[in-house]
């Protein structure tokens, strides 16, 4: 078996290989992660049989926990996006907050919509509304573009059932309900900080909201008509009901057992299981468009599953790499090495920096989250983060790193810039700068929570 220092070197080389393989060679992350798992295991001195066993167990074990959840979540997102429910959510939040605070309303809308819908899709759907509000308020489109993009981004990396946080929670053994609760708390300062950043930059960069982008995919057919017919409670129900069920079952499972341990406890644990809750969300989404869109049960579900398939495979490959790392003595060696350093509360910064490095190099927040989680999972005990809410806070620290930063290798960077009439230099100031503010604010919030909760 390879010695401890060589294992550290192998881990560094593995990270570099992942970055080069995906960013430079443009190889699919699924293949890169599997190659890394095989190579790292064999070079670490594991037998070929042990490497294969670790990879298959890691792949299957990870998907057993979050496969259905990711699939159901993407189906809900596809239905909400195509039915026009996302637009209904936006207009409802604006009515609640008021048009005088319409930029803040766009940020809050983004945060709600991005829980089930990917942030780039959410931006495409909501950008016309953002442009309209900017024109009505006679403000720079930059204010609304940054507020919306960062609101979407915040819950995309912090709040399940978005695939990234779900995958990280599964890999790290974090309670999903607690991730939801603390993830929502983390988004509050992130949204506040990025909203202030949007207002600040909007006074310095003027983008005329009256100019319509020349290119871009057309809105989904029938979206406007569907928006007029859907009641707000129907638009929100497919995501709010599952999230509440998952959160309540986490409360029910607390040591104090606030709901007792009888039939009510059993029912809440069943309904609040993420698999059950998200499947219920799918059927609620079906009910929202009942008899209005026959294609929902086949075409729309199929579109969601196509999106889920890639994420599920990448997540499984990340789980395989994590299991290989767990099989090596790397965790024990780091435990012996880190203990004398007395990192204490500052250990929560390590997953942030790894995720930030991968995000900046790779572009994809989801890939950065999944890869970082697989690297950090075997190190949790050595870092003092394996017990209590340690895995939850680690999940959120990884999420904060996965926002830092969005630039030219990130598809979201181009979606935001092209749909908001930004030049590339403006996009670096607004989108890249905004994501830096969001990521740093997020890790500060997670660090402060760790001082009280760990």
Task: Give the residue-averaged pLDDT of 335-363.
Answer: 78
The per-residue DSSP string of 125-194 comes to HHHHHHHHHHHHHT--HHHHHHHHHHHHHHHHHHSTTSHHHHHHHHHHT--HHHHHHHHHHHHHHHHHHH
At residue 334, the pLDDT reads 65
Is the pLDDT score of 341 beyond 80?
no
| Residue 259 domain flag | yes
Is the pLDDT score of 441 beyond 90?
yes
pLDDT bin (cut points 50, 70, 90) of residue 395 is: very high
Task: Give the residue-averaged pLDDT of 337-349.
Answer: 69
Domains: count for the chain: 1
Is the pLDDT score of 228 beyond 60?
no
% residues pLDDT > 90 (the chain): 35
| Residue 372 domain flag | yes
Task: Give the residue-averaged pLDDT of 199-225.
Answer: 66
At residue 172, the pLDDT reads 93
CB contact burial 104-139 (16+ within 10 A = b; e otherwise): bbbbbbbbbbbbbbbbbbbbbbbbbbbbebbeebeb
| Residue 381 domain flag | yes
Task: Give the residue-averaged pLDDT of 423-438.
Answer: 94
% residues pLDDT > 70 (the chain): 91
At residue 323, the pLDDT reads 85
At residue 221, the pLDDT reads 40
Task: Give the residue-averaged pLDDT of 246-273.
Answer: 87
pLDDT bin (cut points 50, 70, 90) of residue 338 is: low
Residue 196 lies in domain: 48-316+334-453
Both tokens assigned to 301: 């579900």
Instruction: Supply φ then ψ for residue 423, to 5 degrees.
Output: -75, 165
Task: Give the residue-averaged pLDDT of 44-73.
Answer: 89
- Bigger pLDDT: 89 or 447? 447
Q: Please name which of 151, 59, 157 lies closest in space to residue 106, comparing C-alpha atoms.
A: 151
Residues 81-104: tens digit of each pLDDT: 788 887 788 788 888 887 778 899
Is the pLDDT score of 176 beyond 80?
yes
Residues 65-79: tens digit of each pLDDT: 778 888 888 888 888
| Residue 325 domain flag | no
Residue 373 near residue 320 (C-beta atoms within 8 A): no
At residue 393, the pLDDT reads 97
Mean pLDDT of the chain, nearest integer: 85
Task: Give the residue-averaged pLDDT of 129-155.
Answer: 92
At residue 335, the pLDDT reads 59
- Bigger pLDDT: 2 or 432? 432
| Residue 192 domain flag | yes
At residue 1, the pLDDT reads 59
CB contact burial 193-203 (16+ within 10 A = b; e otherwise): bbbebbbebbe
At residue 42, the pLDDT reads 93
Give the Cβ contact number of residue 302 at 10 Å: 13
Instruction: Give residue 213's Cα distance to chain centre.
Output: 28
At residue 24, the pLDDT reads 81
Contacts of 289 (CB under 8 A, 6+ apart): 79, 83, 226, 296
Q: Please name which of 75, 40, 71 lies closest in space to residue 167, comparing C-alpha atoms.
A: 71
Is the pLDDT score of 49 beyond 50?
yes
| Residue 30 domain flag | no
How far is it, in rounded angstroms, from Cα 136 to Cα 303? 35
How far is it, in rounded angstroms, from Cα 136 to Cα 33? 48
Contacts of 197 (CB under 8 A, 6+ apart): 146, 150, 433, 434, 437
Is the pLDDT score of 344 beyond 80?
no
Task: Give the residue-averaged pLDDT of 304-313.
Answer: 86
Task: Give the residue-averaged pLDDT of 360-374.
Answer: 87
| Residue 323 domain flag | no
Residue whose structure tokens are 């979606």: 415
- CA distances from residue 239 to 80, 236, 280, 322, 392 in whole angstroms, order as listed: 9, 6, 10, 30, 21
- Bigger pLDDT: 112 or 437? 437
| Residue 254 domain flag | yes
How far is it, in rounded angstroms, from Cα 73 to Cα 414? 25
The per-residue DSSP string of 284-344 comes to HHHHHTTTT-GGGGTHHHHHHHHHHHHHHHHHHHHHHHHHHHHHSTHHHHHHHHHGGGT-G
Task: Give the residue-averaged pLDDT of 397-412.
Answer: 90
Residues 124-139: tens digit of each pLDDT: 878 878 888 888 888 9
Both tokens assigned to 122: 């959410």
């Amino acid at each position: 078996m390879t010695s401890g220092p060589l294992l550290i070197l192998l881990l560094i080389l593995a990270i570099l290989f992942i970055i080069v393989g995906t960013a430079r060679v443009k190889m699919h992350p699924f293949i890169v992660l599997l190659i890394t798992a095989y190579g790292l295991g064999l070079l670490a001195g594991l037998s070929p049989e042990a490497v294969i066993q670790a990879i298959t167990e890691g792949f299957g074990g990870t998907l057993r926990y979050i496969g259905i959840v990711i699939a159901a979540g993407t189906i809900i997102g596809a239905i909400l996006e195509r039915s026009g429910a996302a637009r209904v959510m936006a207009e409802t939040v604006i009515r609640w907050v008021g048009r005088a605070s319409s930029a803040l309303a766009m940020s809050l809308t983004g945060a709600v919509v991005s829980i089930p819908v990917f942030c780039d899709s959410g931006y495409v759907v909501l950008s016309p509304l953002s442009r309209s509000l900017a024109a009505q308020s006679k403000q720079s489109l930059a204010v609304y573009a940054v507020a919306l993009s960062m609101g979407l981004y915040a819950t995309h990396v912090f709040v399940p059932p978005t695939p990234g946080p779900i995958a990280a929670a599964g890999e790290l053994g974090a309670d999903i309900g607690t991730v939801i609760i603390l993830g929502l708390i983390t988004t509050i300062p992130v949204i506040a900080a990025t909203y202030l950043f949007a207002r600040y930059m909007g006074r310095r960069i003027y983008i005329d909201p009256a100019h319509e982008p020349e290119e871009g995919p057309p809105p989904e057919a029938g979206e406007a008509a569907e928006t007029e017919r859907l009641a707000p409670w129907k638009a929100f129900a497919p995501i709010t009901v599952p999230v509440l069920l998952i959160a309540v079952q986490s409360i029910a499972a607390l040591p104090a057992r606030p709901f007792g341990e009888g039939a009510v406890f059993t029912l809440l644990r069943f309904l609040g299981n993420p698999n059950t809750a998200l499947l219920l969300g799918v059927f609620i989404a079906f009910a929202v468009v009942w008899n209005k869109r026959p294609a929902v049960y086949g075409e729309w579900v199929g579109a969601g599953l196509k999106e889920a398939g890639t994420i599920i495979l990448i997540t499984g490959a990340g789980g395989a790499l994590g299991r290989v790392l767990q099989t090596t003595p790397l965790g024990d060696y780091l435990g012996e090495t880190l203990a004398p350093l007395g990192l204490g509360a500052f250990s929560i910064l390590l997953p942030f920096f790894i995720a930030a490095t991968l995000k900046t190099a790779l572009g994809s927040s989801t890939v950065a989250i999944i890869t970082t989680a697989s690297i950090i999972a075997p190190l949790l005990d050595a870092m003092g983060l394996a017990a209590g809410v340690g895995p939850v806070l680690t999940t959120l620290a990884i999420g904060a790193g996965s926002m830092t930063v969005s630039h030219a290798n990130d598809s979201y960077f181009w979606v935001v810039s092209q749909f908001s009439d930004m030049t590339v230099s403006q996009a670096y100031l607004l989108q890249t700068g905004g994501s830096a503010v969001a990521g740093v604010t997020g890790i500060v919030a997670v660090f402060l929570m760790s001082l009280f909760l760990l």
